[in-house]
């Protein structure tokens, strides 16, 4: 059985959804990747659109509550917003918690083009973090 990773945000509508799609894409079958929110809402259409631009389809994702994962063991729980970091529940086992703070692209109230640009910028920042994370994991596996 693969190790599991949970990506946690407040609404599970943009940052954590994009991170789930990116990490699942990059990790292949090395990990099972999930995302959830402390106050789930719905997946933002802008997140679906900008992920589609790079060939990753998250249109089938749904916003999930962190409660759905209560009692499940995760190798890593990654919070991608400060609010979720502060209210992250405790998970059983040897869970390693990581915090990656990203701005909320949904908070941009400008034109549609500017909102999409914000979603692209955050998507690319998340992708960079995930590639670094994947490199660290690969180094750990070779060293261990």
Catalytically active residues are 9, 81, 88
- Rounded to 5°, angle at Cα 50 from 55 and 69: 85
Is 23 in a helix, a strand, or coil?
A: helix
Contact 20, 7 (CB under 8 A): yes
- Rounded to 5°, angle at Cα 35 from 30 and 39: 165
| DSSP sequence for 37-54 | ESS-----HHHHHHHHTT
């Amino acid at each position: 059985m693969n190790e599991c990773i949970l990506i946690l945000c407040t609404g599970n509508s943009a940052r954590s959804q994009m991170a789930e799609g990116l990490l699942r894409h990059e990790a292949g079958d090395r990990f099972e990747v999930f995302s959830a929110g402390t106050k789930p809402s719905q997946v933002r259409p802008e997140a679906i659109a900008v992920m589609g631009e790079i060939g990753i389809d998250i249109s089938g994702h749904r916003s999930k509550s962190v409660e759905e994962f209560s009692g499940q063991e995760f190798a890593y729980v990654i919070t991608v917003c400060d609010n979720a970091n502060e209210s992250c529940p405790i998970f059983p086992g040897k869970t390693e918690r990581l915090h990656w703070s990203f701005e909320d692209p949904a908070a941009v109230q400008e034109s549609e083009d500017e909102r999409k640009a914000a979603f692209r910028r955050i998507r690319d920042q998340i992708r960079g973090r995930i590639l670094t994370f994947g490199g660290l994991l690969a180094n750990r596996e070779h060293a261990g």
